[in-house]
Chains A and B, each alone.
Chain A
Amino acid sequence: MRNPENRNKPGGDTGEMNMFNELISDLDLVDIPFSGRNFSWSNMQADPLLVKLDWVFTNSSWTLSHPATFVQPLSRPISDHIPYVLHIGTHIPKGCMFRFESFWVEHPGFMDIVKLHWDNSPVYANAAKNLSSKLKQVRSGLRKWSKSLSNLNKLIFNCNWVLQLLDGLEDQRILSRLENSFRRLVKHHLSQLLDSKRKY
């Protein structure tokens, strides 16, 4: 802890906080806050004690060379600490590669999509051009189709989003019994979704 606000209830050792803060300034460390969250640990009770026990530090030269650095907290499916991701912006451009997923082939709609785009490609006199145009059509068709396919990922994303919202709310105030049981429900649902994703 660096200061009393790193805890949702009174307490904490002032001497230890001072030591921690002195060390941080002596080493010229820069504290990267967790976007939108005050605490990283919970004792998991209904009226929980919440504390920021997890910290990410860089230094001042890093701040200048990597301004696009932030910490994204994730939802907590397990453990009493939250997982969190340090994002560091680079100058490496994103690839926009086409990735063919082998599980597509087993999907019932797959052959229809391939056939649809293969047959609907414009016809060229040049056979090579013809083939490349067909491949291009199929590729763009599959790309679009695959986005609608992964309903599961969308559901998982939504569950994580709701869990984070509730955890964030808990940062501010005690959750009601209803909210608590809703969180349990969503966690359970999420674990089922993740189970089916793993089998896939």
Chain B
Amino acid sequence: MNNKNNNNRFTKILFWNIRGLNSQEKWDAIRDKISESACQVLCIQETKRESFDYFYIKRFCPKSLDQFAFFPSVGASGGLLTVWNSSIFDGSIVQMNSYAITVKLACKLDNKTFHVTNIYGPANLA
């Protein structure tokens, strides 16, 4: 939209607080938004899942989004997931705690490096 007259690429990072991704409905919605945005990085908040593996990621990610880092939910609350396209980015986890995952992404096309921090702050901290 805004980049119609620009001949350079945009790095696109999709963020979404999904409120739990344990259903086909959520998987479909994420897949559609990935396709709509043509993102190379995906940051999900409130996964409400304790673990992820490659096969689970494939339920909602296309082939190109193939590397990931996650922080498990505590029971049914919170949970963070960052997924990136490894043919474009070399990614490594810099830091991780219950509220944030920081991933360092080195772009293979222009050798530029940046950090993406995926943060979720629960609404009612006691």
Closest chain B CB from A88 CB (angstroms) = 4
User: B residues within 8 A CB of A88?
Assistant: 10-13, 114
Task: Mark out the residues of chain B between 20 and 45 whose CB falls within 8 Å of any chain A CB in the assembled complex.
Answer: 25-26, 28-29, 31-33, 36-37, 39, 45
B12 touches A87 (CB 8 A): yes
Q: Which among B6, B10, B15, B29 is the interface contact of A78 at CB below 8 angstroms?
A: B29
A89 touches B8 (CB 8 A): yes
Q: Out of B6, B14, B45, name the residue touching A85 (CB < 8 Å).
A: B14
Q: Chain B contact residues (Cβ within 8 angstroms of A): what range?
A: 20 to 34
A54 and B9 contact, CB distance less than 8 A: no
Check A86/B19 contact, CB under 8 A, given A93-B7, A94-B7: no
Q: A80-B19, A160-B36 given. 10 additional CB < 8 A pairs?
A: A78-B29, A79-B17, A87-B3, A87-B12, A88-B11, A88-B12, A90-B8, A90-B9, A90-B112, A92-B107
Binding site for A on B (CB under 8 A): 1-3, 6-19, 25-26, 28-29, 31-33, 36-37, 39, 45, 107, 109-110, 112, 114
